[in-house]
Amino acid sequence: MLSLLGWIYGKVADIRNRLYERGIFEIHDLGARTISIGNITAGGTGKTPLVAYVAALLAERGETVCILTRGYGRANPAKRILVSDGQRVVASPHDSGDEPFELAQKLLGKAIVVADRDRVAAAEWAKREFGVTAFVLDDGFQHRKAKRDVDIVCIDATDPFGDGKMLPAGRLREPLLNLKRADAFVITRTDLVADISDLKFEISNLSPNAGLFTALNKVERIVALNDTFAKITSEILENRNAFAFCGIGNPESFFEQLRRQGIALTGTHAFRDHHKFDQQDIAAIEGLARQSGADALLTTAKDAVKLSNLKFKIACYVVAIDLEINDAAEFARLI
């Protein structure tokens, strides 16, 4: 049954794409340079760090940058939310969604962030209000309504195509052949796998003219929860036992990143992507941590935005992860 539903899902995605390609569904120019960053799979691919990287790159070159995002998991998905005006974060994680709030915090002074499921209307509003000169579409590969100058697809090296099956049987959002419309690919988390030569060959076969870049994650800093600006390194964890938890699309990639950083983990616990934490969750996490012999907790920046109002009896630290792209100069030219 799931395979049948996946086949139907793929056919619907193909029909929708053809309607855009034939001009039956209109594609709207946003009136400024537009970079789309998306996935062909559901779940985490390391897309959010790349969105931040591209927005910062544009800001460094003098552009007035706006990130347009749907804001998954926010309180009212039908409402437009200004998450950041570029200088201040003006919405809560509850209203904006966790990833838009994380981006807003990370890109203060560099990018405006707007959450709206109608990204064409949001772009028109943002241009009028802020004089935007460059847009970054967050999770934009399937958002065909908005015209883009560069279409970038993230491929997670640890789980590239979710066993090749369409939703709901697998993780593909549309058939792999549709990757031919991408202008460039960024293979993320390459440091967490032994070899990507076969994956690079497969991508090149699917889209031979597209740019192909690789990226790895690196721990930029570890900070105490609710003390975002206190720069701490992993040395804070020397001679301590840590328990890691998160609610992201690919939790194992986070746990493996910590291990490769040399952090000794006594245990881990994964929640569903975009999980909304409450005090009972914290009690359960701390119980598991104590059982494992841990005296410190580690989580992601995406999760941290939903933890600030909760109380911890065990010290909790946030791991800030940045992206490092090979051939950064060539990638910057593409952007």
Three-state SS sequence of 228-271: CCCCECHHHHCCCCEEEEECCCCHHHHHHHHHHCCCCEEEEEEC
Specify the pLDDT at position 37. Answer: 97
Find which of 88-92, 168-172, 249-253 is predicted with most confidence, using mean pLDDT: 88-92
> Which CATH superfamily is 2-217+324-334 part of?
P-loop containing nucleotide triphosphate hydrolases (3.40.50.300)
Give 277: exposed, middle or buried? Use CB within 10 Å, 0-12, 13-18, 19+.
middle
pLDDT band for position 308 (cuts 50, 70, 90)? confident
* Pairing mode, strands 111-115 and 265-270: unpaired
Beta bridge pairs of residue 172: 41, 166
Q: Which helix (H) or strand (E) holds 73?
A: none
Phi, psi of 84 (to 5 degrees): -145, 140
The answer to whether 324 touches 218, Cβ cutoff 8 Å, is yes
Among 11-25, 171-185, 202-216, 223-237, the least confident range: 223-237
Specify the pLDDT at position 229. Answer: 46
| Percent of the chain residues past pLDDT 70, beyond the cut | 96
The pLDDT of residue 181 is above 90: yes
Delimit the CATH 3.40.50.300 region(s) of the chain: 2-217+324-334
At 97, list the tokens: 């969604």
Specify the pLDDT at position 102. Answer: 93
Specify the pLDDT at position 232. Answer: 55
Query: Helix %, strand %, coil % for the chain, to 5?
Result: 35, 25, 40
The residue ranking higher by pLDDT, 1 or 161, is 161
The pLDDT of residue 87 is above 50: yes
Residues 167, 173: Cα–Cα separation, whole Å: 6
Residues 130, 220: Cα–Cα separation, whole Å: 31
Instruction: Give the tens place of pLDDT for each residue, 228-273.
Output: 545 555 566 667 789 999 999 889 999 999 998 888 899 999 999 9
Domain 219-322 has CATH 1.10.760: no
- pLDDT averaged over every residue in the chain: 92
Specify the pLDDT at position 226. Answer: 74
Strand order in the sheet with 316-325: 81-84, 111-115, 65-69, 134-138, 33-38, 150-156, 184-188, 211-224, 316-325, 296-300, 242-246, 265-270
Instruction: Give the tens place of pLDDT for each residue, 16-26.
Output: 999 999 999 99
Q: In Å, how far from its chain's centre is CA 289? A: 27
Specify the pLDDT at position 231. Answer: 53
The answer to whether 71 touches 100, Cβ cutoff 8 Å, is yes
Instruction: For residues 129-135, give the mean pLDDT.
Output: 98
